[in-house]
Amino acid sequence: MPKYLPNTRFSDCWGSAGKVTFYHRNGVCFWRKRACPVFPGTLLQMEHQSVHLRALDAWKKVPHDVQLQWNEYAKDVVSHRPPFDGSSRVTGHNLFVSAYHGFAQLGMERVPEPREFEDFPVFDASSASAEVLDGGMMRMSLRIKLGDCAAFSRYRVAVRLQLTSVGGGKRPGLMRSFTAVENCQDQESDAVFLIPDYRDVWDLDLQEYTVHVRYFLIDTLTGYRVRYQSKSFRISI
């Protein structure tokens, strides 16, 4: 995609204007034709949208003084959206909704309480493995190593992943969300995910796959989530 070259009028751009969308990759601004996605309204999409609507409604019912607390804590949280000069921050509303989604992803949907955002430990995935259980369910393990922190069991791994034939490319629209069955147990441990009907989800029935994974941590005390990392692994079943 073509790069956007800064000029005297606009040093940086992001978002969409007319038929053009500006986006960033590795701190460099690019532009492309604006997409017009179609919302197919799958069951998972409708479920996610329903959670989001409940989060928005919950924020409206939060007392004003508590909303101000959220705004104060949000001042210390750097946004993952441009500009990328460290000046961009989330709002209290953003932080609340993100925490609401975090608890929902843990299966503990509830109204979060304002908590100070604490730095997440460094984390990395080193390998992946899988086996097929009865009923056509895949049990996938992702080897996760955490950096130093006070309590490893405070965090749980969540992923968006896609199975392809070996060497197949990643298509974000075909990625599906899963949450590990339990919290991290040690500095290095296996995050286990149960994937029902995996053959039907990706219309593949193979002995070997490439699995594309976006993985991140959820703080089980606050509902806060950290920005994802991406890797691809080859697995055999």
For residues 128 and 208, membership in a common domain is answered with yes
Distance from C-alpha of 142 to C-alpha of 233, rounded to nearest angstrom: 10
In a domain, 114, yes or no: no
pLDDT at residue 84 in the model: 60
For residues 203 and 182, membership in a common domain is answered with yes
Tell me the CA distances in angstroms from 74 to 106, 133, 146, 217, one per residue in order.
22, 43, 25, 19
For residues 30 and 48, membership in a common domain is answered with no
State pLDDT tens for residues 9-28: 665 666 777 777 877 776 67
- CATH number of the structural domain spanning residue 183: 2.60.40
Query: What tokens were used for 162?
Result: 């896609």
Residue 3 has pLDDT above 70, yes or no: no
State pLDDT tens for residues 48-64: 899 999 999 999 999 99
Domain total of the chain: 3
In a domain, 118, yes or no: no
For residues 128 and 65, membership in a common domain is answered with no
Residue 207 has pLDDT above 70, yes or no: yes
For residues 138 and 196, membership in a common domain is answered with yes
Domain that holds residue 135: 123-236
For residues 96 and 134, membership in a common domain is answered with no
For residues 183 and 142, membership in a common domain is answered with yes
